[in-house]
Amino acid sequence: MTLAETISDLINKSPFLQEGIAEGIVNYSALARKLNPEINVLMNKEIQEGAIVMALKRMAHKVEASGMEDEAKEYIRHMGDILVRSDLVDFAYKNSPTLISCQKNLLELVQNITGDLFHASSKGMHETNIITSKSFAPKVIELFEGEEKLTEIQDLAAVTMRMPMSYDKDAPGVFYFILKTLAWNKINVVEFISTKHEFSIVIEKSEINKTFNLLHNMKNG
């Protein structure tokens, strides 16, 4: 495999690099330094950074943006209103034979609540996560007494958006684009919850306004 082919394969594996090169915003010298160790391994010999820089420049005009970002933006424009919920608590419990019974009792309580309650839970291979309103948190603690609590995070908020059910075009990379934008703006995503037609981004309460404005600009930009 030639140097150009090796670099092309590495670039094509990263939409981020592909878009950056296509838009002309990549520092070729810095990118060459980053890619050099991996290229040396793949080609089984030492390649000079200068040669990598020259190869990058030669292939730059052949690299086209994937179009992923444009498709993602169009998809986001068709999403529903942005809903914000604050004063949330995030619990994580270690899975156990008795945890399912605790969850069952918890869901029965949730179903009987008529007030404005945020509640979401998910079960992984080793732990179960529960995000709920602060007012309901004491009930969670009470019902899960005796279970091993791994973490408890206070002062959280959730920003929720509805997927466009009537929009018949899928857009690969929607979540990538949203999370990339938040990361570039130094917003820490504590949890990401999704169903078929809805997703919630759980963040620190102090980041509500910044997150809302970013999503609003994506939706209306």
Tens of pLDDT, residue by residue, the chain (221 residues): 899 899 988 988 887 787 788 778 889 999 999 999 999 999 999 999 999 999 998 887 776 655 667 778 888 888 888 999 999 999 999 999 999 999 999 999 999 887 789 999 999 999 999 999 999 999 999 999 999 999 999 999 999 999 887 665 666 778 888 998 899 899 999 999 988 889 999 999 999 999 999 999 988 86
CATH code of domain 75-220 = 3.30.2130.10
Query: Rg of the chain's alpha carbons, rounded to an integer?
Result: 23
Residue 62 to residue 34: CA distance in whole angstroms: 21
Per domain, the residue ranges of the chain are 3-66, 75-220
Task: Specify whether the backbone of 100 is left (phi greater than 0), alpha (psi in -120 to 50) or beta.
Answer: alpha
Residue 34 to residue 156: CA distance in whole angstroms: 36
Q: Which of 126, 78, 77, 90 is nearest to 201 (CA)?
A: 90
- Taking the whole predicted model, whether its pTM rises above 0.85 is answered as no
